Amino acid sequence: MSKVGPAVSTEVYLNNQTDQNFSTYDKRDWYGSGNQPLNVPALQTRYFQHLADSNIASSEVGTVFVVKQDIKLVVVWRNMRDESNKVYIDITTDTNIFQNKTDNL
């Protein structure tokens, strides 16, 4: 008999302390689901909860925001049961972000 643990969730606060509005460029839910904000206005914070995939108790997400013209903010995390949480943040001008960046997790 397999034992399945409780679902895991990740609480996310995106705090924009710049004078630029951030808008979504791309987002991925590899494991789990949540309502990621479409934008984070200048000098504001957006909160959301990402529920883990209950089969594997993992929350893995990537979000890319446009900061200014071609400049993008990348936020990726992995929150898994029985593992250290990992977060990757980058500012980039790349266009194929998830193909290039997620190998770092």
pLDDT (tens digit per residue) in 13-37: 999 999 999 999 999 999 999 888 9
Phi and psi at residue 101, in whole multiples of 5°?
A: -105, -30
Model confidence band, residue 1 (pLDDT cutoffs 50, 70, 90)? very low
Tens of pLDDT, residue by residue over 47-87, are 999 988 888 888 899 999 999 888 999 999 888 877 788 88
pLDDT at position 11, please? 87
Q: Indicate the CATH number of 9-96 among 2.30.30.30, 2.60.270.50, 3.40.630.30, 3.20.20.70.
A: 2.60.270.50
pLDDT-derived band at 98 (thresholds 50, 70, 90) equals confident
Find out whether 50 and 12 touch, Cβ atoms under 8 Å.
Answer: yes
Residues β-bridged to residue 74: 64, 90
